[in-house]
């Protein structure tokens, strides 16, 4: 059955701050469009808080549980007045990014179709109108971009209705976020629209088709190249540079 | 006094004794977490986290998360910044693309999910009753800051096995919480 959402593993790595930058980008974009996965991330953060900061009921007391806190309060923080703590915290400079990271960033430049790309994507590749598309085939536009520190392959694709994505497997996980139009998995079923995630693990061989209507706009984050299935697929993906 | 009352006292009345109490409850655990993430000067980072709490206590929203979860996310953000020198991308409620409600998924209502988030002790209890290998996996990811792939390698199991354990662990914590909170 089609899932439409990010797998637990990706959401967890995002929630703990260890996700590959490509995975973090597609997560932030999907979370912009998906309240359900935002609630999931909030839940995973609460699980982290319970593991990291919770107490075990009935556990033997730590012999010196407050040694560090006592030292902090005795030697570092001057809690004799609120003004002293205010001065120390102001010396830190900007800190909003730690509390509400989104609000610490300026909104991107306003454009007529600004709603197409979620801001986390727009902050990386600019607005939709300015994408320097490549057109390797009639009706197919692609734009590959690199994120610092990422081992994933990040790509924008825009394909016209009716186009087919020939059968392929993958090296590692394939994640597609649909940003416009629609995509149909011809092998496993499922129709994906704006905000939906189409995912396929290594070992899943499938083909896809763009649904009727406007061109399908996709953010893809793949852990490895396509593995073609059959001669047509091999020639096509070699030509596109996807295999 | 519970955590939320302490934070309210800090945010609204600049109450330094409430701040001291919050430090006593969490500074040692925060230091252990930050040091476990491999950040060099964990004590300085915890000082910063607590000063951020002092300055931003008025931004804490008890409807969205527990105090412990709020502290955890601040410490995570600071530790991640220290390790990567770059913030991670986040959804922005000001974004015109931001979707507030969703028709497709009949998942639990957000307020039910929020009620569960408050129950740090209940979550902790559910986690301590997971099978050892599931608990070990969650510890590696949450406490040691490993990716699922790194944890799988360290535990000498295939990646698919680690992902299955993760799904089972999260499902069983969720089930336990929905049973205990109705």
Read off the pLDDT of residues B106-144 as tens digits, 9 standing for 90 and up: 454 555 555 555 588 899 999 999 999 999 999 999 999
Q: Which CATH number applies to B110-181: 3.40.50.800, 1.10.10.10, 3.30.420.140, 3.30.2290.10? A: 1.10.10.10
Query: Quick check: A125 contacting B, CB < 8 Å?
Result: no
- For A195, the enclosing helix (H) or strand (E) is none
From A12, A49, A85, residue closest to B72, measured CB to CB: A49
| Ranges A95-99, A236-240, B56-60, B69-73: which has the least confidence | A95-99
A19-74 pLDDT, tens digit per residue, is: 999 999 999 999 999 999 999 999 999 999 999 998 766 555 555 556 888 888 88
Cα–Cα dist A108/A105, whole Å: 9
Spell out the residues 6+ positions from residue B126 whose beta carbon is closer than 8 angstroms to its own. Answer: B172, B173, B176, B177, B180
Minimum distance, in Å, between the CA of residue B12 and any CA atom of chain A: 12
Query: Quick check: A188 contacting B, CB < 8 Å?
Result: no
Strand partners, A111: none
Closest alpha carbon within chain B to A114: B96
Mean pLDDT for the stretch of residues B21-47: 92
Query: Quick check: A117 contacting B, CB < 8 Å?
Result: yes
A16-33 pLDDT, tens digit per residue, is: 999 999 999 999 999 999
All residues of chain B having their beta carbon less than 8 Å from the beta carbon of residue A46 are 65-66, 69, 116-117, 120, 123
Cα–Cα dist B178/B182, whole Å: 5
Going from N- to C-terminal start, the domains of chain B cover 3-87, 110-181
Q: What does B23-43 look like in DSSP terms, one character per residue?
A: HHHHHHHHHHHHHHTT-S-HH
pLDDT band of A95, cuts 50, 70, 90: confident
- For A148, the enclosing helix (H) or strand (E) is none
Number of C-beta neighbours around residue B19 at 10 A: 24
Tokens 């600071």 — which residue?
B78
Q: What does A125-146 look like in DSSP terms, one character per residue?
A: H--GGG---EEEETTEEEEEE-
Report, at the CATH architecture level, how domain A127-240 is classified: Sandwich (2.60)
Minimum distance, in Å, between the CA of residue A157 and any CA atom of chain B: 19
Q: How far is CA B146 from CA B32, B133, B159, in A?
A: 16, 15, 13
CATH number listed for the domain at residues B3-87 = 1.10.1740.10
Minimum distance, in Å, between the CA of residue B154 and any CA atom of chain A: 16
Asked if A176 and A206 touch (Cβ cutoff 8 Å), the reply is: no
Number of C-beta neighbours around residue B106 at 10 A: 8
Going from N- to C-terminal start, the domains of chain A cover 127-240
Tokens 């950040």 — which residue?
B39
Q: Is A97 exposed, middle or buried (0-12, 13-18, 19+ CB in 10 A)?
A: middle
B21, pLDDT greater than 80 = yes
Asked if B121 and B2 touch (Cβ cutoff 8 Å), the reply is: no
Same fold, B3-87 and B110-181: no
Q: DSSP code of A104?
A: G
Which pLDDT does position A110 carry in this prediction?
Answer: 72
ipTM summary value: 0.90
Judged by CB atoms closer than 8 Å, whether chains meet at A35 and B138 is answered as no
Judged by CB atoms closer than 8 Å, whether chains meet at B79 and A17 is answered as yes
Number of C-beta neighbours around residue A1 at 10 A: 6
Cα–Cα dist B182/B179, whole Å: 5
Cα–Cα dist A240/A141, whole Å: 11
Query: Quick check: A74 contacting B, CB < 8 Å?
Result: no
Q: For chain A, what is the mean pLDDT? A: 90
At A76, give phi and psi (nearest 5°).
-110, -55
Minimum distance, in Å, between the CA of residue B90 and any CA atom of chain A: 5
């Amino acid at each position: 059955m089609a899932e439409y959402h990010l797998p637990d593993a990706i959401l967890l790595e995002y929630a703990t701050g260890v996700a590959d930058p490509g995975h973090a980008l597609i997560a932030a974009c999907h979370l912009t469009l998906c309240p359900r996965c935002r609630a999931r991330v909030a839940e995973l953060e609460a699980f982290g808080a319970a593991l990291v900061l919770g107490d075990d009921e009935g556990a033997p007391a730590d012999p010196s549980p407050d040694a560090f806190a006592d030292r902090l309060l005795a030697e570092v923080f001057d809690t004799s007045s609120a003004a002293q703590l205010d001065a120390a915290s102001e010396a830190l400079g900007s800190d909003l990014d730690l509390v509400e990271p989104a609000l610490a960033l300026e909104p991107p430049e306003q454009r007529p179709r600004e709603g197409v790309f979620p801001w986390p994507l727009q902050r990386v590749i600019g607005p939709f109108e300015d994408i320097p598309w490549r057109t390797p085939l009639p009706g197919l536009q692609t734009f590959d971009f690199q994120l610092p520190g990422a081992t994933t392959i990040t790509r924008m694709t825009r394909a016209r209705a009716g186009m087919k994505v020939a059968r392929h497997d993958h090296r590692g996980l394939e994640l597609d976020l649909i940003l416009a139009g629609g995509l149909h998995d011809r092998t496993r079923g499922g129709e994906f629209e704006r905000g939906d995630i189409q995912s396929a693990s290594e070992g899943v061989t499938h083909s896809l088709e763009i649904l009727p209507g406007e061109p399908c706009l996709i953010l893809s984050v793949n852990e490895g190249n396509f593995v073609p299935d059959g001669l047509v697929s091999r020639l096509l993906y070699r030509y596109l540079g996807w295999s | 006094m519970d955590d939320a009352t302490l934070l309210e006292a800090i945010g609204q009345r600049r109450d330094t004794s409430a701040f001291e109490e919050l430090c006593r409850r969490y500074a040692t655990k925060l230091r252990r977490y930050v040091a476990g993430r491999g950040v060099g000067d964990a004590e300085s980072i915890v000082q910063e986290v607590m000063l951020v709490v002092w300055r931003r206590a008025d931004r804490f929203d008890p409807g969205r998360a527990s105090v412990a979860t709020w502290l955890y996310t601040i410490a995570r953000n600071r530790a991640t910044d220290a390790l990567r020198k770059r913030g991670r991308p986040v959804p922005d409620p000001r974004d015109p693309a931001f979707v507030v409600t969703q028709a497709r998924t009949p998942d639990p209502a957000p307020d039910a999910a929020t009620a569960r988030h408050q129950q740090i002790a209940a979550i902790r209890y559910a986690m301590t009753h997971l099978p050892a290998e599931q608990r070990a996996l969650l510890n590696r990811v949450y406490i040691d800051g490993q990716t699922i792939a790194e944890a799988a390698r360290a535990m000498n199991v295939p990646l698919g096995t680690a992902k299955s354990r993760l799904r089972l662990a999260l499902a069983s914590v969720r089930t336990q919480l929905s049973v205990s909170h109705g």
